[in-house]
Structure 1
């Protein structure tokens, strides 16, 4: 994998080309001071001071008695240590505020490549839904997965010359409450040919996906008409969402291999696929309860996980595959259900 292939998957690079077939997104270049704020872990966890008086936790229950625990009383001997002042990013905050308003006041946020999926727990809703700049800052500051974008985006490149991109960007995407997880799919492109499709949410069995042949036709047509000749890499992945009227929307692009999760495939399987016009696209879904995979929303890129033979992940996957084969071959499966 090359640096240019990783760079093409940055949202500020691909979104302008695919704007008409994606979800509405507004993108802001981040000041270097905000990037430094995200990387700084030397002091206490501080949220930026809001010039708009916006609360990072607007739905919290205010309890003044709890706040008294953090106040330093006079004569405690700590007067000589001045507490650090919270940072402030007034220009960025006002730009973000305007964009959030134009996106119906609720957004999903991400950096060049990644979203702060590992810090959803810290929000009042338990999701990545944001309505203010300080909510975004809270999710970003609490996230470990964003460290990938900030420090390790090029670690898997065989021509690595950069430690980080020149600029970082904040992408604000319109929030849709009704998105159905079973209608999200990851598509694998090798040699500029669609070779595989995987159910994106692999932790659940969705009976609706039994109509996967119809879904395959929709995704294949979308790829041929909107993606194949417009994305410049030969090997890559892209995520799509199929809405109720059967239109397909591209959600994201990711490099082939490296930190991209292969989901119901393995990268070894995908690398061995022969690219030919006769080769059919393999569409994998969770078809049995025992084929459900664990939640792989980790705080590190996929290639940082220990998946080598004999590792815990390797043994888990082997056991799951053996159980699936046993149940599918047994004539008694389902007889007692």
Structure 2
């Protein structure tokens, strides 16, 4: 994997070219002061002060007598006078820009940086989702996320030509919030040599029966979309992209990701994807060339791998904790499958 391949997957790089077939998004360049705020772990966790008095947790019960002030002292003696508490951070210009963008996008957005969204910090939200209606809510999710450490500090760790640990600039993408999006209609597509070689459902921790009936139609829709809107327009030879299929069968690009590295292969394995070779002639055949995998029964559900670290940081070598976990999961799946087959044959 090369740095240029990783850079092409930054949302501020690909979105302008594909905005007509993607989710409406507004992008802001982040000031270095805000980037420093996100990565700084030397002091207490402080949510920025809002110039509009917007609380990141509006439904909380505010009791100042139960909140401790973080204070810094020169020495460790209790007799020494304590220094004033640190002032909370404030980013008024950025907050104003974001407030205007949220209004333009209908009042609610979900945030992401150059590559990643703070999915691991959803629990901090009052809704348990990435839905945000204010700058302070966005700042809270970004500051609470461990997975964003990848974007901020380790973006190029998988690159063979790594020259830097981070891009020169960071961007905040605000994407229009759609409350009715269905997780079963999001799919990951794998492209090798500019040919589509695999498709699978994005949410592999759940069995969705309607996908069994719509599998062939979805394969045709996604393959046609790739040929007409993505193939030869995205400059990398090998990459993945995620799409969402609407109720009226329109396909929307959700994201682009590098081939391998920290990108999850989901229902495939990177070893088998590397061996796949699909010609343009095969792509033109409705059923040929592109393998489409879905969870076809409750027994096929995969354990969630939302670990808040990039995929290539996981130690899955023989004897590791993840190796044993996956072996146990596969063994349990075989037992369930054998039990189901035995019951069907009785």
TM-score by length of 2: 0.91
Instruction: Decide whether aligned partners of structure 1 residues 260 and 77 sit closer, same or farther in structure 2, where only a CA change above 3 A counts.
Output: same
Q: Equivalent residue for 1:5? A: 5
Name which of 318, 332, 335 aligns with 2:342. 332
Name which of 269, 275, 278 aligns with 1:275. 278
Name which of 134, 143, 147 aligns with 1:145. 147
Distance 1:320 1:298 in 2: 16
TM-fit CA distance, 1:229 = 1.6
Contact in 1 for aligned 2:48/2:91 (Cα 8 Å): yes
Q: Equivalent residue for 1:134? A: 136
Q: Equivalent residue for 1:162? A: 164
Equivalent residues in 2 for 1:104-253, closer than 5 Å: 104-210=106-212, 211-253=214-256
Q: Equivalent residue for 1:35? A: 35
Contact in 1 for aligned 2:278/2:289 (Cα 8 Å): no
| Secondary structure in 2 matching 1:129 | coil
Q: Equivalent residue for 1:54? A: 54
TM-fit CA distance, 1:314 = 2.8
TM-fit CA distance, 1:126 = 1.1
Q: Equivalent residue for 1:291? A: 300
TM-fit CA distance, 1:58 = 1.5
Distance 1:191 1:213 in 2: 24
Distance 2:259 2:70 in 1: 51
Contact in 2 for aligned 1:12/1:112 (Cα 8 Å): yes
Instruction: Decide whether aligned partners of structure 1 residues 282 and 322 sit closer, same or farther in structure 2, where only a CA change above 3 A counts.
Output: farther
| Secondary structure in 1 matching 2:342 | coil
Distance 2:252 2:275 in 1: 28
Contact in 2 for aligned 1:291/1:320 (Cα 8 Å): no
Unaligned runs of 5+ in 2: 72-77, 283-287
TM-fit CA distance, 1:192 = 0.4
What do the CA deviations read for 1:183-232 (whole angstroms, capped 9, x no partner)?
Answer: 01000000101101111001100001102111100100100010002100
TM-fit CA distance, 1:82 = 1.3
TM-fit CA distance, 1:124 = 1.2
Distance 1:335 1:60 in 2: 56
Q: Equivalent residue for 2:74? A: none
Distance 1:44 1:71 in 2: 7
Contact in 2 for aligned 1:290/1:323 (Cα 8 Å): no
What do the CA deviations read for 1:54-109 (whole angstroms, capped 9, x no partner)?
Answer: 11111223345534x6599xxx8675311111111111010000000111110000
Name which of 77, 82, 85 aligns with 1:83. 85
TM-fit CA distance, 1:164 = 0.6
TM-fit CA distance, 1:321 = 3.8
Distance 1:47 1:328 in 2: 49
Instruction: Decide whether aligned partners of structure 1 residues 124 and 294 sit closer, same or farther in structure 2, where only a CA change above 3 A counts.
Output: same
Work out the number of aligned pairs and report it.
Answer: 332
Equivalent residues in 2 for 1:10-29, closer than 5 Å: 10-29=10-29
What do the CA deviations read for 1:274-326 (whole angstroms, capped 9, x no partner)?
Answer: 23343621111111222211111121100000112333333333444455456
Instruction: Decide whether aligned partners of structure 1 residues 192 and 44 sit closer, same or farther in structure 2, where only a CA change above 3 A counts.
Output: same
Name which of 260, 277, 281 aligns with 2:263. 260
Instruction: Decide whether aligned partners of structure 1 residues 77 and 244 sit closer, same or farther in structure 2, where only a CA change above 3 A counts.
Output: farther
Q: Equivalent residue for 2:75? A: none
Distance 1:85 1:266 in 2: 49
| Secondary structure in 2 matching 1:332 | helix
